[in-house]
């Protein structure tokens, strides 16, 4: 087989840590990845349209909880990381990693406009010997159907002069055990040489790389991971509704089932699902399958169940107040936690926002507290600030609703001072309380 000089030179630059890396998107995925490559000795250019992020990065100040300022600042000071708001100079980069948002439209169709926007800036500058990697979650076929034709339009061929791969992000905000460096990296290239060089690049910064045979396989792997979680959360949320009808404690049922040492994986119910991945990613797969005249029934059903859970929380809140001869309208309801998961300040797609909105629509006077997020933005754009978690505020509330089970909450103090509690996360399981004071989902 003939030696590919472009591949040989790119591999040499990667191994020698001379490759210049560009990362498009400096959010929860891009900034931690930039830090890992910089710590491995590479010079990294971050590209983002948000001038506030650019300014913050160039000051060495982190806005991502998984990246400390103490870690970022010396990398910026030493010239290993810099940020810019435009795409100027992309031709000088050896590898460009695209990690931009991929939201859903209101119709639940994929919105890949951020990917396309980045591609429109990068493609005219692409040169021989470059590696382009997409990390943004998307439907199977995006890399080959959207990126490849655009990159080859200038006459360069993928796998020969330029190299293209997909490697799904696997970020779990707030996870203290698994972060970018020690989370295995799946890599699928357009050709074997693309897979080889992309795997080599990631191997410099992460501990384990798992190559697969195609970009489509890598894209599907990401969707399977989050569809698996969405479907199982939907199942256990429906089990919670069944247990309510049967007068059973769903938490006891799950913990009992989990004593089986094989064939069962523990999932817990909750007020809904949030974050950028689990509520959205399965719909990318469902949309793609619709174009092939196939209905993803499990995905649709799980989405329906999970999407209904904030309404279940509000219904349960109304029932608790009704038992106390109170209506939701006019009642003071104190919501604890607005992040979508414990011990983070990430409110993206958080079910807490829906719970608060629905309670307000029913006329409740809602306040909230979250130690990691002291303000939320409503659908009308209005910013609401949180209230302090004090004995006085707990006692003043007609009902306290625990939506996010942050570990820093003093649940003993909360139970002691609240008149009534709706616990959607079983956060008060270890607190001894009188009968009827705490109602669990």
Other CB atoms within a 10 A radius of the CB of residue 276 amount to: 22
Alpha carbon distance 128, 154 (integer Å): 11
CA distances from 417 to 371, 393, 398, 414, 435 (A): 18, 9, 11, 5, 15
Note whether 53 and 29 are within 8 A (CB).
no
Distance CA 346, CA 373 (A): 8
Q: Check if the beta carbon of residue 115 is closer than 8 Å to that of residue 136.
A: yes
Q: Which residues are catalytic?
A: 277
If DSSP codes are grouped into helix, strand and coil, which group holds residue 368? strand
Could you tell me the two tokens for 160? 């020969």
Locate all alpha helices (DSSP H) within 40-170, ordered by sequence: 51-59, 69-77, 113-122, 142, 148-152
In terms of Cα–Cα distance, which of 233, 397, 417, 220 is closest to 307?
233
Half-sphere exposure of 345 (CA within 13 A, CB side): 12
Q: How far is CA 173 from CA 3, 89, 144, 145, 151, in A?
A: 42, 31, 29, 30, 32
The answer to whether the CB of 45 falls within 8 A of the CB of 84 is yes
CA angle 28, 206, 137 (to 5 degrees): 40
Tokens for 193, please give them.
């040489």
CA-to-CA distance for 33 and 135, rounded, in angstroms?
11
């Amino acid at each position: 087989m003939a030696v590919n000089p472009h591949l040989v030179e790119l591999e040499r630059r990667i191994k020698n840590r001379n490759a210049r890396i560009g990362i498009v998107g400096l959010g929860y995925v891009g900034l931690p990845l930039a830090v890992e490559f910089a710590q491995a000795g590479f010079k990294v250019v971050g590209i983002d349209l948000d001038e506030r992020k650019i300014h913050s990065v160039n000051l060495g100040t982190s806005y991502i909880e998984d990246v400390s300022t103490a870690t970022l600042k010396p990398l910026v000071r030493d010239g290993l990381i810099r940020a810019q708001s435009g795409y100027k100079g992309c031709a000088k980069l050896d590898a460009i990693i695209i990690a931009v948002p991929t939201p859903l439209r209101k119709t639940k169709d994929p919105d890949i406009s951020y990917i396309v926007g980045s591609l429109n800036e990068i493609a005219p500058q692409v040169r021989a010997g470059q590696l382009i990697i997409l990390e943004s979650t998307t439907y199977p076929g995006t890399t080959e159907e959207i990126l490849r034709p655009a990159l080859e339009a200038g006459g360069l061929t993928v796998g020969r002069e330029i190299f293209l791969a997909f490697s799904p992000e696997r970020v779990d905000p707030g996870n203290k055990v698994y972060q970018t460096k020690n989370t295995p990296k799946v890599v699928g290239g357009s050709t074997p040489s693309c897979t080889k060089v992309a795997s080599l690049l990631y191997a410099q910064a992460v501990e384990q790389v798992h190559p697969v045979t195609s970009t489509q396989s890598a894209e599907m792997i990401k969707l399977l991971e989050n569809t698996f979680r969405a479907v199982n959360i939907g199942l256990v949320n429906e089990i919670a509704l069944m247990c309510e009808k049967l007068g059973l404690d769903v938490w006891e049922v799950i913990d009992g089932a989990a004593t089986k040492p094989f064939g069962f994986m523990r999932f817990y119910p909750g007020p809904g699902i949030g974050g950028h991945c689990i509520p959205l990613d399965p719909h990318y797969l469902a949309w793609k399958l619709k174009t092939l005249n196939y209905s993803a029934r499990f995905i649709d059903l799980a989405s329906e169940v999970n999407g209904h859970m904030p309404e279940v929380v509000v219904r349960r809140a109304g029932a608790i107040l009704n038992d106390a001869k109170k209506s939701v309208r006019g009642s003071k309801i104190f919501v604890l936690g607005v992040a979508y998961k414990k011990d983070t300040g990430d409110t993206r797609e958080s079910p807490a926002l829906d719970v608060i909105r629905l309670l307000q629509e029913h006329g409740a006077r809602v306040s909230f507290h979250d130690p990691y997020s002291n303000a939320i933005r409503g659908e009308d754009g209005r910013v609401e600030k949180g209230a302090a978690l004090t004995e006085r505020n707990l006692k003043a509330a007609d009902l306290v609703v625990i939506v996010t089970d942050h570990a820093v909450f003093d649940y003993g103090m909360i139970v002691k001072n609240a008149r009534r509690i709706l616990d959607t996360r079983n956060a008060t399981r270890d607190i001894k309380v009188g009968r009827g004071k705490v109602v669990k989902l």
